[in-house]
Amino acid sequence: MYGMKRRSLVTAAAGGVPAALVLASCSQGSSSGGQSSDVVTLNGDRADFTDAYGLAGAELEAITGYAIEPRNVPSTENYQQVVRSSLQTDSTTDLVKWWNGYRLQDLARSGGLADLSGQWDSAVDQGWVNPETRDSFSYDGKVYGIPMYKSYWVVFYNTGVFDQVGIAPPATWDEFEENNAKLRDAGVTPLFATQEAGWTSSIWFAEILSKLDPVFYADLMVGEAKYTDEPAQEAMRIWSGMYAEGYFTAADVAWDSEPSLLAKGEVAQVPMGTWRNGTFAEAGLGEADYSAFLLPTVHPDTAPSVIVESGSISVAENAPNKEAALETMANWLAPEVQQPWVDNIKDTSANPQVTTDDPILETVLEAVGAQEPTELVRYWEASPPALIEGGVQYLGAFMADPSESNIMPTLENLQTLADDEWAQWDAGS
């Protein structure tokens, strides 16, 4: 009896290894599982988009016959690994949510994405997308992503606090500085800034630099200017000066607490992409409680600019349902698909024909219409990913010690990193 038990244990243990291997091989296919011909699968890192995917998918199904079946990996870091490891296998989803700019190029040059140039051209012909944004979704002359939404980087502000302090949204940089001083004197932290979430350390650097010299910003991002050049130094001096005035929250404030700090009026202004609009609404801010303005240029004679960000959707080269995926992307920007999509995610569409009834977004679009600012790619997507990820570390360290004496060491570190990473990037392409 005892002996038998032992033998069966050994058998079980020996059997365990192949069983584990079988399990492992099963799990490989999990991201593609459940293929049915009338849906295309989409992988993403935004679980809060699930309802919106459903709404857009219903409209797409009416046009193409294919609905969207979304999967979500909640952590952006894990999501990127899942895509990197599955994109070139047959366990990829048909559609992949990604980022535009260099992040898209990074993926496209691996050969894992399908060419969407035809879908792009057809969208341009129908007036569904601004043809000037093509570069931001291209690699080596071909389009590999279709814009998911279009977020403008603006400054959200608490209208109640502005009324109490007796200030209005600034039209010039001087007014912006005056507002900040009044808010600080009234005991309200004027501006939100944190390096706690890593990437957030780039926000103020990019905002100030782009409002100081948009041409230099664009050059710096593509490696045609140096971090140690005078405009970057000037931007850092402005940033450091604002820290010295006590305008910012502590550099380790939790990024997640940003909506509630704005809602409670503890922080008056928050620089953020309009994609955050939905989160502010969820934090209890009613339509009358907050609004947004475009940050004015530092000097009145500087050309207006705005930082723009688009998520992108790409088709995997190995997509199990590739034809359906390509057809879905050809119709993604159709107004009847985009309208329910952006209404649900509370952001603006990349299709200029699609309107919004959200009062905050209307304010932003009015300002954009009036100022006609140059659109700049967000820092996060504007340079090779490894340069950005290293860069936000140096900027984060600067936020912890925003003294004048720390400006040049920070910029020198950034330039050394830029030299290395541009060399790596060029070697890889």
Partner 1 sequence: MALLEKQRTRAGEEGPRPAPRLSLLTKDRLAAAPFLLGAVALVAALLLVPFLATAYQSLTRDDGFTSSFIGFDNYLALLQDPTFGRSLLNTLLWTVGTLILPVGLGLLIAVLTNAVPGGRWLKYVFVLPYALSGTATAVIWGFILRSDGALNQAIEFFGGDASTSGWLLTWPTNTIVMIVASTWQATGVTVILFMIGLQAIPKEVVQAGELDGASGLRLFWHVVLPQLRPVTIVVVGMSIANSLRVFDLIWLLTKGGPGAASETLAVTMYRQTFILSDYGTGAAVAVILSVIVVGASWFYLRHQYKRG
Q: State both tokens at 205.
A: 């650097």
Regarding 111 and contact with partner 1 (CB under 8 A), the answer is yes
Phi, psi at residue 128, to the nearest 5°?
-90, -10
Query: Nearer to partner 1 by C-beta: 87 or 167?
Result: 87
Query: Nearer to partner 1 by C-beta: 35 or 424?
Result: 424
CA 227/CA 414 separation, integer angstroms:
6
Regarding 13 and contact with partner 1 (CB under 8 A), the answer is yes
Regarding 33 and contact with partner 1 (CB under 8 A), the answer is no
Q: Is the dihedral of CA 161, 193, 153, 114 positive or negative?
A: negative
**Looking at this protein, which amino acid is placed at residue 124?**
V
Give me the residue label for tokens 């984060």: 396
Regarding 428 and contact with partner 1 (CB under 8 A), the answer is yes
Query: Nearer to partner 1 by C-beta: 373 or 390?
Result: 390
Regarding 386 and contact with partner 1 (CB under 8 A), the answer is yes
Query: Which segments of 113-176 are extended strands (E)?
Result: 138-139, 142-143, 146-147, 151-158
Angle between helices 322-331 and 117-125 in degrees, nearest 10: 30
Regarding 429 and contact with partner 1 (CB under 8 A), the answer is no
Regarding 396 and contact with partner 1 (CB under 8 A), the answer is yes
Q: How far is the CB of 413 from partner 1 (least distance, A)?
A: 9
Query: Nearer to partner 1 by C-beta: 173 or 247?
Result: 247
CA 329/CA 315 separation, integer angstroms:
8
Q: How far is the CB of 170 from partner 1 (least distance, A)?
A: 26
Residue span binding partner 1 (CB under 8 A) among the ranges 37-45, 191-199, 302-310, 367-375: 191-199
Site track for partner 1 across 314-353, x = CB under 8 A: ----------------------------------------
Regarding 22 and contact with partner 1 (CB under 8 A), the answer is no
Short-list 142, 138, 261, CA closest to 194: 261
Regarding 252 and contact with partner 1 (CB under 8 A), the answer is yes
Query: Which segments of 227-366 are extended strands (E)?
Result: 267-273, 290-293, 305-309, 311-315
Quickly list H helices, 148-229.
159-165, 173-185, 202-212, 214-221
CA separation, residue 288 to residues 8, 103, 119, 263 (Å): 71, 37, 40, 12
Site track for partner 1 across 64-103, x = CB under 8 A: -------------xx-xx--xx-xx---------------
Residue ranges in contact with partner 1 by CB under 8 A: 10, 13-14, 16-17, 20, 77-78, 80-81, 84-85, 87-88, 110-112, 195-198, 249-254, 385-386, 389-390, 393-394, 396-397, 399-401, 428
